[in-house]
Structure 1
Amino acid sequence: MEEKSRSDPISLLSLPPEIQSKICSCLAQSFEQSALNAVLRTCKQLYEIALPHSVSFYQNKSYRIDDCGSCSRARNVQFLRYILIQRPELSRYVKTVIFGSFSPDSPKFEHPRDTAHPDDTKSTKAEVGVFRETIQRKLGQFGLERFPWYDSWVGEWLDGLAQGTTDAQVTLILLICPNIGTLLFERPRGAPVFIRFLFVVGLLSNAIPGGHYPEMPSSVPLWNVQDVYHEANIVDVHYNDFAAHAQPLFFLPRLRFYECNVVFGGDGDPQGLTLLKPRSSPIEEIVLRATVVSGPVLLAMLKACKALKKLEYVHLCTRTAYRGVNPQQLEEALLLHADTLENLFVNFNDLRDKRWEWEGHTDRLYMGTRFSQLHSLKRLTISMQAITGILAGPPDTNTNSPQMPLRVEEAPSLIECLPESLEYLKILACGEEIQEKAAELLRTVEKQQRFTKLTYIGFFFNRWLMESEVDLRCGSPNVQLDIRYLDREEYSDGLPPLAPKSGFGGVRNQISRIYGADARQQYLMRRGL
């Protein structure tokens, strides 16, 4: 009997409720909605357990990277009808929302589903009445009617809901779901209702700590958001208004992780980011990939963080975006978090001509010795030029640009500028001339004179720029020395991969959390993250 009981299969119904709930959560997180729907139809017991998970992940985007990334208006209408009118008690279970690009002019970027079913894209007059009552009830408690723009904004919002615009629909979903923890969205095209909504969220979130509304903090929209990701999906159409969207998000009281891809921060103006109060944001991790932001923009972002633990900055060079923060501007910004910064990944894309004014400004090519003051830093991945002032080889140049220097003689040695707290060090885009500085560091580590916490040191050389392999050794048994020689294709693994040209004539963002989950995961795995 005992042997038979061991071989009997365990049914889903026989599992404890907490295990059943965990299984449903996994199905929801993997977007296996069809499988979750099957569980809902099984029996009453599993229906009750699976129902909250059926709305926990809401995504509305195109499923092909060349479909313009538009939201489906019909999908939004269906979701609003369900969680606001039919089963309003379920709105509190919505935890993750993912939106493709949304716009007040949705028909211009029509989702295939809406083209096939145009009658499903608009709400009824009665439903718009419920929307009106909901907006007025939820926002009325904050006294926003005293602002001159309030009535016209709500009117525009309601008009958009009646017409079925994704701008208005997305904004209402964000308003009525109080426990959203993760928000992912593609750069909106215009979207005045959503942009004003972000302004309101920032206004209210900023007011709470001041005591204006101490009795109702949980009523503030997006109050529970901890993870925000937004992007431009087309690389050649830069996210040049990202600061206007990021500024109110930085006010969110529980936000810990912020990522923006294909950021374009202009040549210096930090825009609304200057309104952020120093040390006011709880953000601990910032990731900016395929990015061109100026020193003032990055400084404004980092100033706003209370205690930053991780920063990733990957510079993008395109025909229209060459400038960006330089190493010493980055160093200045990082020193604001010398007591807390633990993980830093920086790739300035050294092999591309960024069209800076190199002549007379060689100090802008590398960080200085103040970098060693980051005494909490444990993991560092950085390119050779930024840390040593040495370039592996000549970059791609433009005949109208001065030649970048290959070596800055007054730049510090590695042991002068690296923090003693480092446990992991990887230097990318190396050339032969780093050997002297690298050997000095390895001798110091081997003799245990300094950097006693280092357990990994990696030098990744650009093979196609070298005449021979280097001779670097470390006799310390506690240190893994990783010497690699990368081809051009492997070198690009430190930079976001790009998909083919899109229908708009631009290059797609292939590491998108919204559209490119598989490519993104492969990219991070190649980088060892």
Structure 2
Amino acid sequence: MEEQTGPDRVSLLSLPPEIQTKICSYLALSFEHSAINAVLRTCKQLHEIALSLSVSFFRNTAFYGDGDGSCSRVRNVQFLRYILIRKPDLGKHVKTVILGSFSSDNPRYEHPKDAALPSGIKSTKEEIAVFRETIQKKLGQFGLEKYPWYTPWVEEWTDGLEQGSTDAQITLILLVCPNIRALFFEQPRGAPIFIRFLFVVGLLSNAIPEAHYPDTPSGVPLVNVQEVYHEPCEVVSGYKDFAMHAHPILFLPNLRSYECNFAYRGDRGTPGLEILKPRFSSVGKIVLRACVVSGPVLSALLKTCKALKKLEYTQFCTARSLIGVNPQQLTEALLLHADTLEDLYVHFDDLWDKRWDWQDHTDILYMGTRFSQLRSLKRLTVSMQCITGILAGPPEHDNGAPQMPLKVEQAPSLIECLPESLEYLKIVACGEGIQEKAAELLRTIEQRQRFTRLTYIGFFFNRWLMESEIELRCSLPDVQLDIRYQDRDEYVYALPRPSWNSGLGGLRNRISRIYAADARQQYLVRREL
């Protein structure tokens, strides 16, 4: 084919600037290395287009498995030098920040780049002077000097910058980038400057009555953040202080999505959440995957939402797990958002004994008829036990406790528990015990008596616990009945349970937004098949 020539030939340079920007924006979205820097070196026209995009996506972490996932101090210094000294107008174009593990100063978690280039981990005296002036100017407008902790904190921050601390460097990056939309970070390993910064942001977001605002609220750090994700640095111990970190995050006025992997708050207290105002947070989507949190903790978290629209909660149970949320507690917490909740995904890991104190109150083993009051719910994915009070098989670990019943006799039927507004229903971890309740639901739907909006009904059975296949039918052409038999690996995949080893295939390489964006997307797609 001959190359096109003449006035009709279309090239990248001939396209309108907005189209060029759109095309180049895809080159800036990269898991580890951005291709946008190559565009900067092509020509003056594309350099102008690509310049702002070159900083829109700031990622600082090693691949998990190539190191410890740590942030690079060299990378931080280079970025601060670029957006604060060489091109000070670029900070406003940073939209996404992804951070691996960091601390105040611990060589154990050193990034490979820092070990190879130790001379690059600290800023010059002239740069430190600029950084100090920037901190004082940015925060000085808020009247924070009245707080006794403010001056020592700023001094500690400046000292950290002089020493090349990742804690101090990262906090400064977040301070000087006013238009960040998405923030992903790994649980800090002792980062007092960053943690204090989060609480200062909460203070300035008017969550506490005595907060002082300048005339221009847009000057508040992180005010434009819409999405926050964080995860633990150690899978074995879990994210025990997730609630303390979530507390100031939920103050962010434009927050729309909050996600945490392996949140661990199994006690009955709510440290970090108890002073949050009810119905204060603008967050509409909360995702807690592979988590161990108590009922009061989950309730305190959901109470902060003005109008929750989506919740995903998968419970991770082990022999070491403390008491987690039970289905009845979940129902009570969700009823606060009966008018707004549209999408719920909940899996309680039915194969494990949660060590609930159920002997005198077996009704806590299922969500109950009050669950039907979620009148706006459209999509529901739920494990069998918590919607029916029936187990597919005996729990695998009871730790010497009384065996949980395979069936709670007084549990209500499905048609008594499910909201009429449902359009999509998937029940997972099913066993033969659900057949009667499922058949009753399908008969009711066929008679057009109730659940007239349902167009998809799925029952996913644990194949290895089944003695025979299930006979369920629905004659309505506009209702898809989906019956599947999953093996054990597929069951575990749907939770997902974390792997105790930290190599490939572990928690981070399946559902992490920091270390495994592609694998995570594949996981989510496969889970919905």
TM-score, normalising length from structure 2? 0.96
Deviation at 1:216, TM superposition (A): 1.7
Aligned to 1:482: 482
1:310 equivalent in alignment to 2:310? yes
1:441 equivalent in alignment to 2:441? yes
Aligned to 1:378: 378
Aligned to 2:518: 518
Deviation at 1:206, TM superposition (A): 2.1
Change in 2 beyond 3 A, CA 1:157/1:214: closer
Q: What residue ranges of structure 1 are gaps of 5+ in the alignment? A: none
> Amino acid of the residue matched to residue 321 of structure 1?
S
> Amino acid of the residue matched to residue 422 of structure 1?
L
> Amino acid of the residue matched to residue 449 of structure 1?
Q
Aligned to 2:412: 412
Q: Secondary structure at the match of 1:518?
A: helix
Residues 477-497 of structure 1 deviation map (CA, whole Å, 9 limit, x = unaligned):
110000001110111221125
Q: Secondary structure at the match of 1:258?
A: strand
Contact 1:57 1:95 in 2 (8 A): yes
Contact 2:143 2:212 in 1 (8 A): no
Kindly report which structure 2 residues correspond to 1:289-438, keeping only aligned pairs within 5 A, or say none.
289-438=289-438
Aligned to 2:229: 229
Change in 2 beyond 3 A, CA 1:362/1:174: same
Deviation at 1:34, TM superposition (A): 5.3
Aligned to 1:51: 51
Distance 1:395 1:31 in 2: 40
Distance 1:491 1:201 in 2: 41
Contact 1:348 1:383 in 2 (8 A): yes
> Amino acid of the residue matched to residue 370 of structure 1?
R
Residues 38-60 of structure 1 deviation map (CA, whole Å, 9 limit, x = unaligned):
21111111100100000000000
Kindly report which structure 2 residues correspond to 1:180-329, keeping only aligned pairs within 5 A, or say none.
180-206=180-206, 212-213=212-213, 215-329=215-329
Deviation at 1:356, TM superposition (A): 2.2
Change in 2 beyond 3 A, CA 1:22/1:299: same
Q: Secondary structure at the match of 2:265?
A: coil
RMSD, matched Cα? 2.0
Change in 2 beyond 3 A, CA 1:421/1:353: same
Change in 2 beyond 3 A, CA 1:278/1:412: same
Contact 1:161 1:168 in 2 (8 A): yes
Change in 2 beyond 3 A, CA 1:32/1:514: closer
> Amino acid of the residue matched to residue 229 of structure 2?
Y
Change in 2 beyond 3 A, CA 1:5/1:477: farther
Q: Secondary structure at the match of 1:510?
A: helix
Change in 2 beyond 3 A, CA 1:497/1:13: farther
Distance 1:9 1:319 in 2: 67
Higher alpha-carbon deviation: 101-110 or 506-515:
506-515
Deviation at 1:357, TM superposition (A): 2.4
Deviation at 1:282, TM superposition (A): 0.4
Distance 1:405 1:458 in 2: 25
Contact 2:189 2:233 in 1 (8 A): no
Change in 2 beyond 3 A, CA 1:168/1:442: same
Change in 2 beyond 3 A, CA 1:34/1:74: same
> Amino acid of the residue matched to residue 273 of structure 1?
L
Distance 1:369 1:250 in 2: 31
Change in 2 beyond 3 A, CA 1:207/1:521: closer
Deviation at 1:280, TM superposition (A): 0.6
Q: What residue ranges of structure 2 are gaps of 5+ in the alignment? A: none
Aligned to 1:528: 528
Change in 2 beyond 3 A, CA 1:108/1:472: same
Deviation at 1:508, TM superposition (A): 5.0
Q: Secondary structure at the match of 1:272?
A: coil
Deviation at 1:362, TM superposition (A): 1.4
Percent identical among aligned pairs is 71
Kindly report which structure 2 residues correspond to 1:494-509, keeping only aligned pairs within 5 A, or say none.
494-496=494-496, 498-499=498-499, 501-502=501-502
1:468 equivalent in alignment to 2:492? no
Distance 1:353 1:7 in 2: 72
What is the total number of aligned residue pairs between the two structures? 526
Distance 1:247 1:182 in 2: 17
Change in 2 beyond 3 A, CA 1:162/1:48: same
Deviation at 1:210, TM superposition (A): 8.2
Aligned to 2:159: 159
Deviation at 1:126, TM superposition (A): 1.1
Contact 1:459 1:483 in 2 (8 A): yes
